[in-house]
Each structure stands twice: as C-alpha cells, then as structure tokens.
Amino acid sequence: MRALLLRDLRLAMRAGGGFGLGLAFFLIVVVLVPFGVGPQTELLARIAPGILWIGALLACLLSLDRILALDWEDGSLDLIATAPVPLEAVVSVKALAHWLTTGLPLVLAAPVLGLLLNLPAPGYGWLTLSLLLGTPALSVIGTFGAALTVGLKRGGLLLSLLVLPLYVPVLIFGAEVARRGAEAMALTTPLAMLAGITCGTIALLPFASAAVLRMNLR
C-alpha cells in the first residue's frame, strides 16, 4: 500500500500537471473574480470565503479524472486490482494521493490568495481549517466519481455532472465555516457538520468506490 502511494505521488510529481495545474487554475479563478464583480474591497471581503471555496472545489474537480484514468489506459489498474491488496484500500490510497497532490497545495495556497481578495483578518485561520477538513472529502467523493466513469470515452464532462451535486453539502458547510470565521461569528455547528461529513465519506465511500471499480473492471 505504501508502495502504491509512493508510486502515485512520484507519478504525479514527475508527469507534471498534478501540483501545478490545480494551483494555477485556483489562482486564475481568484484573479478573474475581481474583474467580474469589480474591485471594491468591501464587496470582495464579503464574498472572499465563498470564492476561495468554489475555486478550490473546481481546482479539485479538474484533476479528478487523472486519479484512475491513466492507470486504466496503460492497464496497470488491472494489475493493481489483482494484487493481494483489498480494492477498498487501493481506492483509499488513490484518494489520499490525490489529496496530497491537489488538496493540500490548495489548502496552503488559499490564505495567500485570500490576501488578493481582501479576506478579513480573523478569517485566515478558519478558512485554512475548513479547507483542511473539507478537501479530503472532496478527494474521496471525487475518487468515487472517477471510479464510476473510469471506462468511458467521454468521461470527463460526465464526471463533473455526477460529482458536483455530491459536493453540495461539503461546500455549504465548508464555506459557512469560512464565512462565519471571517465575520467572527460562532461556528461550532457547521464545523462539526463538516468534520462529520468528511469522516463519514472517508469511512464509507471507499466501499462504494471499490464496488463500482469492480463492476467496471469486470
């Protein structure tokens, strides 16, 4: 399992696109928003938490089809599936690798991009915390979507259609934590809900992903 994780990380780093693409996309979304809504700092400060969350979510979405599609194309997915490791573990490791290469850089970049959007000072910690809690769920849910669409030719667009509605609860609670943090309000409830959703998806969704992958590999 560790070998699989290291392999995925190494592939993502050496093939490029893993770290870079998602981050660049995140940066571009955040830079484009002021052009769209105007440069008033009060307005930007109000919408900053939501924009940062949506940007991170879209950047995450961008790299989802790479989780399994490359392995599917060159046949290594079949080898991994026949290896003496449960498929549930394989899927979890894949999600972890995706999070380490996409989610974690986004979390680290978010406060810097928050500066661009004039995020209020109390918001930085909560924004980072909410993304840190929420992005693992995005990766796990995304792996489920990737497993659903792995064998399809026009899988990319379908993947976003399938995954985006599943992202709704994470986005709602995550952005709510960031917003309340920025406005220095009480945020225990959304924080607990966000953590609960993340733990629940990490615990349960790999089983669904593995089941779906088994059907696709049949």
Partner 1 sequence: MASIWEYANPRKFMATTDVVLPWIAVTAALTLVGGLIWGFFFTPEDYRQGATVKIIYLHVPAALLAINAWLMMLAASLIWIVRRHHVSALAARAAAPVGAVMTLIALITGAIWGQPMWGTWWEWDPRLTSFLILFLFYLGYMALWSAVENDDTAADLTAILCLVGSVFALLSRYAVNFWNQGLHQGASLSLDAQENVADVFYHPLLVSIAGFVLLFVALVLLRTRTEIRARRMRALLLRERMG
Where do contacts with partner 1 occur on this chain (CB under 8 A)? 144, 148-149, 151-152, 154-155, 158, 161-162, 164-166, 168-169, 172-173, 176, 189-190, 193, 197, 205, 208, 211-212, 215-216, 218
Helices (H) and strands (E) in the chain, counts: 10, 0
168 or 186: whose CB is closer to partner 1?
Answer: 168
Cβ-based nearer residue to partner 1, 62 or 177: 177
Nearest to partner 1 of 95, 109 (CB atom): 95
Q: How far is the CB of 161 from partner 1 (least distance, A)?
A: 5
* Minimum CB–partner distance for residue 79 and partner 1 (Å): 21
Directed axis angle between helix 41-62 and helix 19-37, to 10°? Answer: 150
Nearer to partner 1, 11 or 162 (CB): 162
Contacts of 45 (CB under 8 A, 6+ apart): 117, 118, 119, 120, 182
- We find the least distance from the C-beta atom of residue 211 to partner 1, in angstroms, to be 6
In 10 A of CB 103, how many CB atoms? 26
Nearest CA among 165, 206, 205, 172 for reference residue 190: 172
